[in-house]
Amino acid sequence: MNKSTKEKLYQMFILGLEGETLSGNPNLKAALQKGLGGVIFFTQNIKTEKQFKNLINEIKKEALIFPFLSIDQEGGRVERTENIHDGKKYLSPKYAAQKGEEFLKNQTEQIACELKDFGINLNFAPCVDVNTNPDNPIIGERAFSDKTDEVIKFGKIVTQEYLKNGIIPCLKHYPGHGDTNQDSHLTLPEINLPFEEMEKIHIKPFKEISAPMIMAAHLHCACFDKEKIPTSLGKNAIGYLRKNLGFEGVIITDDMVMQGALGFESTKACEMAIKAGVNILLYRNSFDETIQIIENLAQKALLDKELKENIEISFEKIMKLKIKN
């Protein structure tokens, strides 16, 4: 596929939108025409089945390259289709797992079939954090368990069920958000566990569960970096995932507007992530400043060999995943 560096760079972004139609989002429409990699949907974008399907069809028509159509649909606290379900919710991962493997499998199949019917092809699930800190404000019932082996067992079931039903699953939040006592939406959480403990308890699910995509968290792990840098932007944490765990799939950041990622200027943060080995940058919006970040990076890539090479590598990984699915 003969694409320009800028088009390849646009493939490395998944952006969100305001409201319920593409017509109210001229930046997103223009980005799709330039090669945007995908769109993420939230509750505010999903009012009725008909409206949501129409929105997805509009997006497909405008896209230069077939897009990732993505959502956070974990069940329980993180569920984006509640307007359609009239308040009826899927169980959160913790409580679904407590009902047993068969229940979890069946619920995951229901979620997958519903998402596929809408036109969704990527779900940012399962959450394979091991919730070892009972005071964790952000994970809690989103985790299957506080025990690593149980997280692996249930995480494999969910991952395989999505793959079987034509939905790309994304493991999150590498290297493990389970021991934090802070919310990365609000600050940069710090984990000061020894590396051996991180590896044995929190990183292990990302090693044992085979998935095509992994989401990197905005948290600081002292065992990877002395400098206060999010693992999502750090060469050490991302390098470990690539080299030590042998992960060859697509790495995506958590939402780049979260406070955990805002310790660096926005273009610089994205550049750091790309050079660390991240393949997709996730933004919940498509504001002017977000589009400007992509344009800034495209200009930088003209003179920065490392940045350009990493864009090429990311484009290949992204297209390989899209063609496969």
- Residues with a known catalytic role: 185, 254
Beta bridge partners, 221, equal 191
Helices (H), 119-234: 148-164, 195-197, 204-208
Identity of residue 318:
I
Q: Which one-letter DSSP state was computed for residue 92?
A: P
Q: Which of 5, 122, 8, 120 is nearest to 64 (CA)?
A: 8
Handedness of CA 188, 205, 96, 178 (dihedral sign): negative
Q: Which of 314, 303, 244 is nearest to 273 (CA)?
A: 314
Q: Residues 116, 167: contact at Cβ < 8 Å?
A: yes
180 three-class SS: coil
